[in-house]
Chains A and B, each alone.
Chain A
Amino acid sequence: MLDFPRWKTVGISIILLLGILFSIPSFLPQKTVDQLPGFAQIKVNLGLDLAGGSHLLLEADLADLNKTQLANMEKTVRAAMRGERGPDDDIAIGDFKASGSTISFLIRDQKQLDDARDRLAKETQGAGMTGQRDWRVDVVDTTRIVMTMTAAGRDQAVARAMESARDIVDKRVNELGTREPTIIREGNDRIVVQVPGLQDPKALKDLLGQTARLEFRMVDPNGGVGPNGAANVPVGSELVPYAPGEGGGAPGEVLRRQVMISGDQLISAKQDFNQQQMPAVSLRFDSAGSNTFARVTGQNVGKRFAMVLDGKVLSAPSINEPILGGSAQISGNFTVQSANQLAIALSSGSLPVKLDVVEERTVTPELGADSIRKGAIAGIIATVSVLVLMLVVYGRFGVYANIALAFNVFLIIAIMAAFNATLTLPGIAGFVLTIGAAVDANVLINERIREELKRGRRTFQAVELGYTEASRAIFDANVTNVIAAALMFWFGTGPIKGFAVVLTIGIVTSVFTAVTVTRMFVAHWLRSARPTSINI
């Protein structure tokens, strides 16, 4: 017991000192922390339940993604069959069908079948680790080609879509001007968005709920929609409905399938006003887009084109003259806010997949502040009552335990700050629990010392035995708690995770402070005072 080596004392003192230093920024107000040098700006993060803010869980609509994949492949196939060397090189195809994860079509001239397969082989790629291709190409009944998306291809498509969706969500959230949002992918097809301080998540949800796939397409002059909705749709065109409130009662427009220019070719989009002083969105296309726009509008003066957003027609103006310069303006049934939102959505790029909000948790900053205040008060009262109890029951040994307990608090905060961990409301409860665990360790040790004294052991020996014999139970008990905390961390979400983090850190620090640190105090006292009896 007496041989507590000097290097150990020094080591422990350094750890405790670091603990206090690293926990200081967490007690300071944010303004003061901002003025500190960068290395000192480590601070415990407050969870959304304490700081206030919004948590959104977005889930990709995989059925929608699948549909997009099929549509894109159809476009690719049509382009590939069109041939590079003029009309003689074309392969005539027809009877396009799409269902599930397959598309199929007929090759009109059987002699071109091999050529067609060669061209398709260039359009499919290896996917995943297995070297499997992303699409399988089969021939059925000698003239029908069936293309099936493979599992590896689908996984890859989902992974790619989610990666780019995450980036786009990131851009859009940042456009809202929020403070330090967290945007991370979760699982296969989900994205977590956490925005501290956000009061009303409605604008955010609207912004993220918009795919923002913008297309300019020509209205087919040979097509037409009757007032009763019956449409005459020529080959190569389709009926596209109007967005709600647009079109002046017409159900939709018959548009060419071919896209003139799309939102991918935008360089900027911003909220603006049109000539009638109504909110609108002004667009600028890149040079390739501008050229196409100028050429197509030049060829089609007097005809109409349509602006299509997410599969709905916003407007279908007539082309009075070629539109040069690459600018356009979308007007529609907008408010300033919704026009602004559309501008943000368009300039951040279109989402490769539709995202649904499947979970939402919002806490107002006032409620959060109230929780912190009450939690802190309760924490202080709880700690003080435990300290008093320890003092009354164990005297000098209680004082040592209490000092260790105070160090424990600093260490937990310091480690959380160093790992950039987040303190949530259940985390505060976890804090209280680890205080309980730390107290229990000291209770075990002190009770054991009492027992050994009762059995007639001399002071030093009793203290020594108290520490060694109690350590076994302390160790086992804390391992079981770590098991529980680890499971909470792996399986839990949100609040449970926050609790598990504090609990795990607290278990480690409480064993250190309650056993090692108190032992150091006791050893030094025994060595210097050499008491013949102790009051415990």
Chain B
Amino acid sequence: MRLLKLVPDDTNIDFLQWRKVASFMSFFLVVVSIALVAVKGLNLGVDFVGGQSVRVEFKQEMPPIDEIREKVATIGLGEPTIQQFGSDKAISIRTALPEGDKATADRAGEQLVAGIAKAFPTAKTGAVETVSGKVSGELLRTGAISLALAILGISIYIWIRFEWQFGVGALGRLFHEVSLTFGLFAVTQMQFDLNSVAALLTIVGYSLNDTIVVYDRIRENLKKYRKMEIIPLLNLSINETLSRTVMTTLAMVLALGMLLIFGPDVIFGFTAAMLFGVFIGGYSSVLMSTPVLVWLKVGPDSFVPRTTSGIGGGERIERKDDGAVV
């Protein structure tokens, strides 16, 4: 049986020649993402702003959004936010916290459900969520803390397992990935809730998975080819891991894509964010996380065992390798 080769043997693409363009683009995208979040803002769900949200499913044709908005506004809980899921029959209707009420979660949710049932008798309400202002504040805080700690914790781990340059590279890459994903949420105005934080954390974990594979190969090659210039060495490492990057990305895209198309619409945003993260991750693995190492001046000496003399240690590790040297 002839097996499928996604990437031809012995690729020798000079990825690092694009490092300036890629870095500029990444920088640009990060700035744009941050600006988008600042200008358009995130569509925060009840988890983070408090209030009540009801999932409404229409059996037949869904009325126009404006009509729904108008009718819900008359319930007396203020102007609603209407969120569409992947399907065209289900929406989520969200209203703000009623003011001055301490036990807010108590009545407003019921009021909203009753109001919707009256305005749209054929619609079915499937899920009701009510979160008070105090709880939503806590959820936002713990969400932010866990994200920040995950990025830091992982970077520190890489610093310990590799060298500080790699830790910085990982940190930069994570910042890049997370910013861009925030940008995605700002552009699409997909609802940002606890599930989105889980998606972000997953992207962080996955993206590190990618970085480590490439960094591991760089570390190995730095020990192996001690006399090679850094840029060809990085290119070699990326090329050697290219077929793996492509294959894994493809597998993830397949799995997440199926989940996006056939999965329940309740996790549409979650899956969409992860899929986006996988694409960004593929790009970063190849074009973003390695140039950092050039600027931070990673060289063969970065992995010299400090107790033995540098040259001796290096030659001992060097193997009889010729096949794939550029």
Chain A residues near B (Cβ < 8 Å): 49, 57, 59, 202, 205, 209, 356-364, 366-367, 370-371, 374-375, 377-379, 381-383, 385-386, 389-390, 392-395, 425-426, 428-430, 432-433, 435-437, 439-440, 443-444, 447, 450-451, 454-456, 469, 472-473, 476-481, 483-485, 487-488, 490-496, 499-500, 503, 535-536
Contact in complex: B266, A476 (CB < 8 Å): no
- Tell me the complex Cα distance, A226–B167, Å: 78
A71 to B4, CA, bound (A): 80
The answer to whether the Cβ of B298 comes within 8 Å of any Cβ in the partner chain is no
Chain A residues, Cβ within 8 Å of B126 = 363-364, 366-367
Q: Please, what's the 1-or-0 string for B158-183, where 1 marks a CB less than 8 Å from any CB in chain A?
A: 10010000000000000000000000
Q: A360-B109, A379-B259 known; A426 and B270 CB under 8 Å?
A: yes
| Contact between chains at A378 and B262 (CB < 8 Å) | yes
> In the complex, which of the residues B1, B3, B129, B149 contacts A491, with contact meaning CB atoms closer than 8 Å?
B149
Q: B221-249: which have CB < 8 Å to A?
A: 240-241, 243-244, 247-248
- Whether the Cβ atoms of A456 and B202 lie closer than 8 Å is no
Asked if B194 is an interface residue, CB under 8 A from chain A, the answer is yes
Whether A395 and B251, one on each chain, are in contact in the complex, defined by CB atoms closer than 8 angstroms, is: no
Q: From residue A203, how far is it (CB to closest CB) to chain B in Å?
A: 11
Q: Is the interface of B mostly helix, strand, loop or mixed?
A: helix
B109: chain A residues within 8 A (beta carbon): 360
Among residues of A, the one whose C-beta sits closest to the C-beta of B220 is A469
- A443 to chain B: which residues have CB within 8 Å? 244, 247-248, 251
Question: Which residues from chain A contact B263 at a C-beta distance below 8 Å?
Answer: 374-375, 378-379, 428
B-chain residues with CB within 8 Å of residue A503 when the two chains form the complex: 202, 205
What are the interface flags for B246-276 relative to A under an 8 Å C-beta threshold, 1 for contact and 0 otherwise?
Answer: 0110111011111101111011001100100
Taken together as a complex, chains A and B put the C-alpha atoms of A386 and B206 apart, in Å, by: 17
Cβ contact of A385, chosen from B248, B255, B264, cutoff 8 A: B255
Decide: A356 near B103, CB < 8 A? Known: A361-B129, A484-B150.
yes
Residues of A within 8 A of B321 (CB): 455
Contact of A454 among B10, B128, B157, B241 (CB under 8 A): B10
CB proximity of B31 to chain A, nearest CB, Å: 26
| A480→B154 contact, CB < 8 A | yes
Pick from A202, A366, A371, A381: contact of B258, CB under 8 Å: A381
Interface residues of B in 188-222 (CB under 8 A from A): 194-195, 197-198, 201-202, 204-206, 208-209, 212-213, 216-217, 220
How many A-B contacts if CB must be within 8 Å?
Answer: 245
C-alpha spacing A367/B126, complex, angstroms: 6
Q: Contact check, A425 vs B267: say whether CB atoms are below 8 A apart.
A: yes
Q: Which residues of B contact A469 (CB under 8 A)?
A: 220
Q: Evaluate whether A487 and B150 lie within 8 angstroms (CB atoms) in the complex, with A440-B251, A480-B209 already known.
A: yes
Which residues of B come within 8 Å of A, CB atoms?
1, 3-6, 9-10, 55, 57, 102-106, 109-110, 124-132, 134-135, 139, 142-143, 145-146, 149-150, 153-154, 157-158, 161, 194-195, 197-198, 201-202, 204-206, 208-209, 212-213, 216-217, 220, 240-241, 243-244, 247-248, 250-252, 254-259, 261-264, 266-267, 270-271, 274, 321, 323-324
Name the residue of chain B whose CB is nearest to the CB of A435.
B255
Question: Residue among A358, A473, A490 with the most chain B CB within 10 A?
Answer: A358
What chain B residues lie within 8 Å of A59 (beta carbons)? 134
CA distance A410 to B324 in the complex (A): 40
- B194: which A residues are within 8 A, CB to CB? 492-496
- A491–B206 Cα distance when bound, in Å, is 19
A487-B135 contact, Cβ under 8 Å, with A364-B126, A385-B258, A439-B251: no
- Beta-carbon contact of A490 and B135 below 8 Å: no
Partner of B198, one of A389, A450, A499: A499
Chain B contacts for A451, CB-based, 8 A: 240, 324
**Contacts A456-B323, A484-B150 given; does A358 touch B132 at CB 8 Å:** yes
Q: Is the CB of A483 within 8 A of B157?
A: yes
**For the complex, what is the distance from the CA of A455 to the CA of B10, rounded to whole Å?**
11
Q: A209-B106, A491-B149 are in contact. Are A362 and B248 (CB under 8 A)?
A: no
Chain B: minimal CB distance from A207 (Å): 13
Given contacts A357-B103, A390-B251, A393-B6, 19 further A-B contacts (CB under 8 A): A202-B110, A359-B130, A362-B128, A363-B127, A364-B127, A383-B255, A386-B251, A393-B3, A394-B3, A426-B198, A436-B248, A440-B251, A472-B216, A476-B216, A484-B201, A491-B149, A492-B142, A492-B143, A496-B195
Complex interface: chain A residues within 8 A of B270 (CB):
426, 429
Is B247 a contact of A447 with CB atoms below 8 Å? yes
Shortest C-beta distance, B54 to chain A (Å), equals 10
Question: Which single residue of chain A is at the shortest CB-CB distance from B244?
Answer: A447
Complex CA–CA separation, A265 to B105 (angstroms)? 33
Q: In whole angstroms, what is the CA distance A367 to B103 when docked?
A: 27
**Least CB separation from B1: chain A residue:** A395
Pick from A361, A371, A379, A483: contact of B150, CB under 8 Å: A483
